[in-house]
Amino acid sequence: MALTTLDPRTALVLIDLQKGIAAAPTVPHSGSEVVARAVELAGAFRAHGLPVVLVRVSFAADGSDALPGRTEAAGAAGARPEGWDTLVEELAGHAGDILVTKHNWGAFHGTDLDVQLRRRGVTQVVLGGIATSIGVESTARAAYAHGYHVTLATDAMADMNAEAHHNSLDRIFPRLGESGGTAEILDLLARTRP
């Protein structure tokens, strides 16, 4: 489906573009490619006075706030290198950006993201980040459930698993919103803003 519109109050929400995650091997785009496209999007959103939300995931060093549920998959628990949860330098340091720290896969549960968006009159979110099938998809599902229009910046996201990435793009995202590349989103933003 082609992109149709961006609401007057659309926010860019970037998921987990932090040092420890952006440095991991990802497909079909590298972390540096995802970050570069995210920087382009963030610059355009800021230039048009639209909110930019930078979401990071972090856990206490002792693991006391880690997700407690039993799973069959090996978890990412354990020691993490110093600074793994620090936002990448290319995106950090913009005073007007909204910073959200999550302790779950999705950016809505247990955070003030919904409040931050609603206070600014946001009705639509454009999502990107790493990993497509985890943080981005979880946030997209919650955004849709919260009543936001959802747009997925498909070349501004990547995953550690190609099959999982394509499952999100091909099967899940069409049910949650509209998808397009960074260039399409930037073009639509330029055409619909004064």
pLDDT (tens, 9 = 90+) of the chain, 194 residues, equals: 579 999 999 999 999 999 999 999 999 999 999 999 999 999 999 999 999 999 999 877 666 676 777 778 765 555 666 788 899 999 999 999 999 999 999 999 999 999 999 999 999 999 999 999 999 999 999 999 999 999 999 999 999 999 999 999 999 999 999 999 999 999 999 998 87
**53 domain-assigned:** yes
**69 domain-assigned:** no
Cross-strand partners of 126 = 12, 151
Global pTM reads 0.94
- For residue 112, the domain's CATH number is 3.40.50.850
**71 domain-assigned:** no
- CA 110 to centroid of chain Cα atoms: 16
**64 domain-assigned:** no
Range of the domain at 133: 10-59+84-192
**29 domain-assigned:** yes
**65 domain-assigned:** no
Q: Which two tokens stand for residue 31?
A: 């972390």
Phi-psi region of 124 (alpha: psi -120 to 50; beta: other; left: phi over 0): beta
Domain count of the chain? 1
Beta-carbon count within 10 A of 12 CB: 27
Angstrom CA distances, 160 to 63, 157, 176, stand at: 23, 11, 22
**75 domain-assigned:** no
**95 domain-assigned:** yes
DSSP-H helix ranges across 81-161: 113-119, 137-145
pLDDT of residue 128: 98
